[in-house]
């Protein structure tokens, strides 16, 4: 099981990668890549929230 800080870091990384994908999709006109980027950002946001909740429960 991952700890909260690990989930937060992975979530932040997913959000960043998603933003890059979304921008690449916009630049190339690929709506599929753009959508994948947005989905990855949402996944990152959820993962980050999960990590924050785990850290809050530790306190």
pLDDT of residue 2: 79
Beta carbons of 11 and 42 less than 8 angstroms apart:
no
How many domains, in total, are found in the chain? 1
Task: For residues 51-58, give the mean pLDDT.
Answer: 92
Domain that holds residue 49: 4-58
Determine phi and psi for 5, rounding to 5 degrees.
-65, -35
More confident residue, 59 or 29: 29
Alpha helices per DSSP H over the chain: 4-28, 31-58
Beta carbons of 18 and 58 less than 8 angstroms apart:
no
pLDDT digits 0-9 by tens, 14-47: 999 999 999 999 999 999 999 999 999 999 999 9
């Amino acid at each position: 099981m991952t700890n909260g800080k690990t989930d937060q870091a992975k979530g932040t990384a997913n959000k960043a990668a998603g933003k890059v994908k979304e921008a690449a999709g916009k630049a190339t006109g690929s709506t599929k890549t753009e959508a994948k980027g947005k989905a990855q950002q949402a996944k990152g946001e959820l993962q980050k929230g999960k990590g924050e909740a785990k850290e809050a429960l530790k306190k």
